[in-house]
Structure 1
Amino acid sequence: MHALIVVAHPDRNSLTHAVAAQVAQGAAQAGQPGPQHTTEIADLAAEGFDPRFTAADLALHLQQAPAPADVAAEHARLDRADALVLVYPVYWWSFPALLKGWIDRVFTQGYAYEEGAGGKLAKKLGHLQVHLLGIGGADAGTYGRRGYAGAMKTQIEHGIFDYCGARVASSGLLLQSSTQEAVASHLRAAQALGRSLFVPSP
């Protein structure tokens, strides 16, 4: 089994990166990586991934041209993955632009889904299990009272991953991240998630 951990934050010293590292560490401890259990961290900011949806991306969507080279490389990474873990700061109650642009450009028509004749939809990522870890500063009450948690679930879990047939195996918000106690708790939760990645579903 191969896990792809995608992290979207420009600061390598951020809590977002620390959480991603703990997911990878937990996976290493549980899965005893070798030929059959591996993890990969995709640091979108450090790699310089361009989130802008350009004319080349539109041509791919319309199936008039092949995937741009950087998108094709991301497709190859996803093809190797059994589990996809997205670790990101919550910006304006959603993904940061870097991660949203990665979704826009990589989860493409013809690769992640196929719109057929008569509007029939083929979901093409059924092999992929998805884990979401959003990191935010507000408390859970704010997310509940304002409906932000439900809106994010609808937009991300159903609107993106269910549309492509990928199963969201876990979805968590690590909130109130400004205290040492919260940070320690978040890192423990991330490591626990990593330990569960290579455990077969019941």
Structure 2
Amino acid sequence: MENVLIVYAAPEPKSLNGALLAAALKTLTDQGRCVEVSDLYGMKFKAVLDAADFPDRWNTTVFDPAAEQMHAIATDSIAPDIAAEIEKVRRADLLIIQFPIWWTSMPAILKGWFDRVFAQGFVVNVGTGEVYGRGLLRGKKALVVVTAGSPAELYAPGGPHGDLHELLRPLTHNLLEFCGLEVFPTHVVYNATGIAPDDADREIELYQDRLLAIEA
């Protein structure tokens, strides 16, 4: 996996997430990998899929997002900011999706990135059955990296927040695997809120070790 795309959705560069991103960049580039970063907050990425994403509308009477995506992908007429992200995904062998857990899910800006960039006709074709093992992103791999403010026991099976891995299943399975990606087990940093510097350093080292364990 020579080419890596990190889709990063955390608003504060000086946060633990910012430190994890910096560590990933150093670790991966030191391995000789080509790394691109989509810093969604830094880019002020538009998070809302709407008709403006499709300058060459297939149907100007009724807005059908899936149909417009299929048409835009087929005619190479999608909005430029989406097209740029699609090209990053095309180049990537490994996608790293990094974000803090907010209300047991991903930040809205990241959901918007998926809504707009993971377009019908690019990542899947439901009509022809090109989903899951036949998804259009098959051959690529993905790693989800999250920080959670609460301790691990609150996110354990039967815990008050629910099993974090099940909470993330709509992302890891219904979205990433649905598109054909091979998804590695999620990397989680618990107790991220107010984490002590020594603990943060340890978590960064663990993350670097995790990245080094992913075969090139």
TM, length-normalised to structure 1: 0.87
Q: Which moved more, 1:92-101 or 1:47-56?
A: 47-56
Residue 144 of structure 2 aligns with an amino acid whose one-letter code is L
SS at match of 1:41: strand
Q: CA deviation at 1:185?
A: 2.0
Shift of 1:182: 2.7
Distance 2:93 2:65 in 1: 25
**SS of 2:185's equivalent?**
strand
- Which residues of structure 1 form unaligned runs of 5+? none
The 5 A counterparts of 1:60-139 are: 61-62=66-67, 63-65=70-72, 66-116=77-127, 121=131, 122-139=134-151
Aligned counterparts of 2:37 and 2:165: Cα–Cα separation in 1 = 28
Residues 3 and 93 in structure 2, CA contact (< 8 A), matched pair in contact too: yes
Structure 2: runs of 5+ lacking an equivalent? 54-62
- The residue type equivalent to 2:66 in the other structure is H
| Partners of 2:130 and 2:136 within 8 A in 1 | no
Give yes or no for contact 1:24–1:191 (8 Å, CA) kept in 2.
Answer: no
State the structure with more CA Rg.
Answer: 2
Counterpart mapping for 1:30-41 below 5 A: 31=31, 33=32, 37-41=33-37
Give the root-mean-square deviation of aligned CA atoms: 1.9
Quote the offset at 1:184 in angstroms: 1.6
Q: Does 1:147 align with 2:167?
A: no
Q: Distance in 2 between matches of 1:101 and 1:189?
A: 29
1:153 shift after superposition? 3.4
Higher percent of residues as strand: 1
Q: After the TM superposition, which residues 153-192 of structure 1 pair with which residues of structure 2 at under 5 Å, given as runs?
A: 153-177=168-192, 178-180=194-196, 181-192=198-209
Q: Secondary structure at the match of 2:99?
A: strand
- Give SS of 1:170's match: coil
CA distance in 2, matches of 1:142, 1:82: 34
Question: Match of 1:182, SS?
Answer: helix
**Alignment partner of 1:179: what SS?**
coil
Residue deviations 1:106-126 (CA, integer Å, cap 9, x gap): 111000100115x66451111
Evaluate the alpha carbon distance shift between residue 82 and residue 129 of structure 1 in structure 2; reply closer, same or farther with a 3 A threshold: same
The answer on whether the counterparts of 1:131 and 1:171 sit within 8 Å (CA) in structure 2 is yes
**Larger mean Cα displacement after TM superposition, 160-169 or 58-67:** 58-67
TM-score for the superposition, normalised by structure 2: 0.82
How many residues align structurally? Answer: 193
Q: Is the 8 A contact 2:28 2:35 kept in 1?
A: yes
Deviations 1:155-192 (A, max 9, x none): 11111111101011231110102232331222112222
Counterpart AA for 2:12: D
Q: Given residue 183 of structure 1, which amino acid in structure 2 is its aligned partner?
A: A
Deviation of the 1:59 alpha carbon:
5.5
Counterpart of 1:45? 41
Identity of aligned residues (%): 27
Alpha-carbon offset, residue 89 of structure 1: 0.7
- Bigger relative contact order, structure 1 or 2 (CA pairs below 8 A, ≥6 apart): 1
1:7 matched residue in structure 2: 8
Determine if the alignment matches structure 1 residue 196 to structure 2 residue 208.
Answer: no
